[in-house]
Amino acid sequence: MIDKTIKNEILTISIGSLLFNVIVLIFLLILYFTNLLKIDIIHITVGLLIGFIISIIYTYHMGMSLNKSVDFPDEKSSQSYYTKQKLFRDSFLIIFFIVLCKFVDTTIAVFSLIGLFGVKFGAYISPIIKKYINIICKK
Which of 52, 48, 49, 44 lies closest to 14 in space, CA to CA?
52
Burial letters for 62-71: b for 16+ Cβ neighbours within 10 Å, e otherwise?
Answer: bbebbbebee
Taking only the tens place, the pLDDT of each residue in 85-117 is: 899 989 998 998 899 888 888 888 889 999 998
Q: What is the pLDDT of residue 78?
A: 85
Residue pair 16/125 in contact (Cβ under 8 Å)? The answer is yes
Taking only the tens place, the pLDDT of each residue in 24-78 is: 999 998 988 888 878 888 888 999 999 999 999 998 888 888 888 888 888 888 8
Residue pair 3/65 in contact (Cβ under 8 Å)? The answer is no
What pTM does this model have? 0.84
Which amino acid, residue 136? I
Burial letters for 12-37: b for 16+ Cβ neighbours within 10 Å, e otherwise?
Answer: bbbbbbbebbeebbeebeeebeeeee
- Report how far residue 128's alpha carbon sits from residue 4's, in angstroms, rounded to the nearest whole number: 18
- Report how far residue 23's alpha carbon sits from residue 48's, in angstroms, rounded to the nearest whole number: 11
